Structure 1
Amino acid sequence: MIRRVSHAPSLVMQLLGLLLVLFLLLPVGAIFSLGLYYALGILLVADASQLMAALGKEAGIAPALLQTPLIAIAVSALATGWGLALSLLWRPWMTGRRYLPLLLSALPFLLPRFGLGALFLLACLKLAQWGGNALGLGLVALSQAAVAAPLVAAILCLGWRRVDPAWRQAALEAGADELTIFYRLNFPTLKPYLAFGALLAMILSLGDFYLGNALSGDAVLLPGAILSGVAQNASPLYHALVALMVCVDIALIVLVTRSLNRLTHARNGFFS
């Protein structure tokens, strides 16, 4: 006797999932459309001098446009280096199932952002008062890198699983030193994972609001400037900047997706 299998529950779950995705993307699409409308209006109506005058009138935008990408690049570089160092520690910890030190080393990623910002601010309060905005922006970069480094380390741990220990042993027997082994054998395997983690760290930095506001001092970063300007409806420029930030995030997400596809193909090739 042949039993018919009903696909109704599966279709209902797929429909609910599609509705959830639309619900999550609706606010992003609405604010992006509004920002794109203002951005196109500014580009079509205003000339370069009017645009520069508008940027000068909104005192926080021009410095934020320069400082925020620079901090994101610094965070990406720091988080990649720290994540690589953490992954070297995590490998024996994971093998020995020592999860407590692993979780403690990932605490900056697990802590609430406002709590981490308060800790950095309390620890470096005197230095921040002495160093001014420059030191404040440095603290922003350090704190954001501390948050992203455990995520990069977790990604790199997946890459380390593709490194055959026999390669290192054979290279040592051939007379190679540890640095040569890393750059010649390990680094080519880890490179796509490093790129993937660096892009994620940059996305986290560009979208961070709490640490930037808590530690930047008098300096203004784009997330805080945009949120404040949109909330006060101060100028159409802020809505246009929302569209710009969304475009940058979409471009980075595309790069992350391509990196993820490369990782998937590499993993399938390794285990095939």
Structure 2
Amino acid sequence: MSRVPSWMLQFIGLLLVLFLLLPIGAIFGLGLYYTLGIFLVADASQMMAALGKESGIAPALLQTPLIAIAVTLLASAWGLALSLLWRHWIVRRHYFPLMASALPFLLPRFGLGALFLLACLKLAQWGGNALGLALVAASQAAVAAPLIAAILCLGWRRVDPAWREAALEAGADEMTIFRRLTFPLLKPFMGFGAILAMILSLGDFYLGNALSGDTLLLPGAILSGVAQNVSPLYHALVAVMVLVDVVLLALVTRSLKRLAHPRNGILS
């Protein structure tokens, strides 16, 4: 059997990548076309008036990034605590609680949303939209936390236990050890996980739709507007969202480079 030439494999790989990126490129191009059209024919006041007419867009533009920031902070703290438990469980080969704690990430999003909704239905009805948005943030953080914990477990492998013992013998307390020794090594992993948590939150549709109550978040608002072809404004927002994802992807790539090349001199 003859060997397939390497150039042919590269060509097939390029075609596959182009095929996968074609829908994203088409959506982004269409959205960019509408975005440039809006900027060319409308001034700022007209754009604000168009946003005002679409009652779900203006609140979604404000609330969705705030929820994403809250999810990022909550999931980072949650993931750090979870990574400590996972290290303990892995050493003792307690894999069942580890997998149980990762279940929110493994479950389908609509199933997780249904579980949160059933568990907190009365509470959500009592608390209204504000509590519904809090449930959205909590559920999205529950999804992102196991992912961050798994990433941090890779970072914990770079922490030498001998450093901690030497620091304790020198009189350092646990907080100083974590701040000066451990956290500088974990920081690139934490940053990488935090960006992924923000991407998951900004692009989430199922949990936001299921738990936000009467409030419409940006993924739901854009998807509904594009499906109904209500206004070119929604197509422009698609381009903006894709552009945000590209920026976040660039930050992820930069974080991966930092993970591959950790800085020396962590005590500085």
Mark yes or no: TM-score above 0.5. Answer: yes
Q: Secondary structure at the match of 1:146?
A: helix
Find 1:135's aligned residue among 122, 131, 139: 131
Structure 2 match to 1:57: 53
Distance 1:114 1:231 in 2: 20
The alignment partner of 2:261 has SS state of helix
Alpha carbons of 1:23 and 1:124: their partners in 2 closer, same or farther (altered >3 Å)? same
Find the counterpart in structure 1 of residue 262 from structure 2.
Answer: 266
Q: For the residues of structure 2 that align with 1:182 and 1:269, how far apart are their CA atoms?
A: 15
For residues 100-249 of structure 1, what are the structure 2 equivalents within 5 Å? 100-249=96-245
**Counterpart AA for 2:145:** A
Letter aligned with residue 124 of structure 2: A
Letter matched to residue 152 of structure 1:
I
CA deviation map 1:78-132 (0-9, x unaligned)? 0100000000011122223322211111000001100100010011111111111
Partners in 1 of 2:73 and 2:116 — Cα distance?
20
- How many residues get paired? 266
TM value normalised by structure 2? 0.95
State whether structure 2 residue 74 is matched by structure 1 residue 97. Answer: no
In the alignment, the residues of structure 1 paired with residue 18 and residue 150 of structure 2 have an alpha-carbon distance, to the nearest angstrom, of 30
String of CA shifts for 1:59-91, please: whole Å, max 9, x gaps: 000000000000000000001000000000111
- Show the counterpart of 1:44: 40
Q: In structure 2, give the amino acid aligned to 1:236.
A: P
Partner Cα distance (1:27, 1:41) in 2: 21
Counterpart in 1 of 2:28? 32
Name the aligned partner's letter for residue 82 of structure 2.
L
Q: 2:74 aligns with which of 66, 74, 78?
A: 78
Question: Alpha-carbon deviation of 1:269?
Answer: 10
Q: What is the letter of the counterpart of residue 215 of structure 1? A: L
Cα distance in 2 between the residues matched to 1:17 and 1:225: 35
Cα displacement (A) at 1:135: 0.6
Q: CA deviation at 1:10?
A: 3.8
CA distance in 2, matches of 1:15, 1:216: 45
- In the other structure, the counterpart of 1:19 is 15
Separation in 2, partners of 1:268, 1:170: 19
Which amino acid is 1:141 matched to? A
Measured after TM superposition, the shift of residue 18 of structure 1 is: 1.7
**TM-score, length-normalised on structure 1?**
0.94
Distance in structure 2 (CA, Å) of the matches to 1:210 and 1:268: 42
RMSD: 1.8
CA–CA separation in structure 2 for the residues paired with 1:132 and 1:17: 50
CA shift digits 1:171-201 (9 cap, x unpaired): 1111222112111110111111111100000
Q: Report SS of the residue matched to 1:266.
A: coil
For residues 268 and 108 of structure 1, the distance between their equivalents in structure 2, rounded to whole angstroms, comes to: 36
Mark the runs of 5 or more structure 2 residues left unpaired by the alignment: none
- 1:268 Cα deviation from its structure 2 partner: 10
- Is the counterpart of residue 69 in structure 1 residue 65 in structure 2? yes
